Amino acid sequence: MKIIVISDTHGNYRNLKQVVLLHQDADMFIHLGDGETDLYQLFASEPWAEQKFHCLKGNCDYRQDVRVFRTLTLDLPYGHKIFAAHGDHFQVKFGTARIAYEARQNQADIVLYGHTHVSDCRYEDGLYILNPGSLSIPRDGRKPSYALIDISEKGILPNLVFL
């Protein structure tokens, strides 16, 4: 299973569309928030994409959309589970302990978060912790980024990808 994780596009529709078109073969896309206008523009130009997206609400997303959530828990093949949130409600700018705790409470082995615009990909105590960074305004001195997660019977392989 191939999952593309995107966050914090903040009006950079061009980069969002580039990543989506590059990975049309992905089984799933997850947008971690702060990009609702980019997503609506994408779904208008590439209607097929909407079927593959899970969208979370970020602190800069203001539309009331019943398809957009603050947190998301997804069961995956081979017994894996994702817990995802934009991250602002878990104070991720001050560390990942709170969101990691919530992921463990939900029996997840992958936690996804955004909000900081700082890419992060690590494994700690049985939990993959992944922030794809920002596709528009990275704050870690790197290029705009997103994440690719491959899940197979052999395990989980997360990677950061830089544009």
Structural domain containing residue 96? 2-162
Confidence of residue 69 (pLDDT cuts 50, 70, 90): confident
Using one digit for the tens of pLDDT, what is the confidence trace for 76-113? 999 999 999 999 999 999 999 999 999 999 999 999 99
**CATH number of the domain that 97 lies in?**
3.60.21.10
Tell me whether strands 155-162 and 145-152 are parallel, antiparallel or unpaired.
antiparallel
53/15 Cα distance (integer angstroms): 16
Q: State yes or no: pLDDT of 67 exceeds 70.
A: no
Residue 98 phi, psi dihedral angles, 5° rounding: -65, -45
Angle at 144 between CA 80 and CA 19, to 5 degrees: 60
Q: Are 90 and 113 in contact (CB under 8 A)?
A: yes
Which tokens go with 60? 């800069």
Which among 60, 6, 65 is positioned nearest to 30, based on CA atoms?
6
Say how many domains are in the chain: 1
161/163 Cα distance (integer angstroms): 7
Q: What is the rounded average pLDDT of the residues 127-147?
A: 97
Identify the pLDDT of residue 115.
Answer: 97
Assessment of whether the complete model's pTM goes beyond 0.85: yes
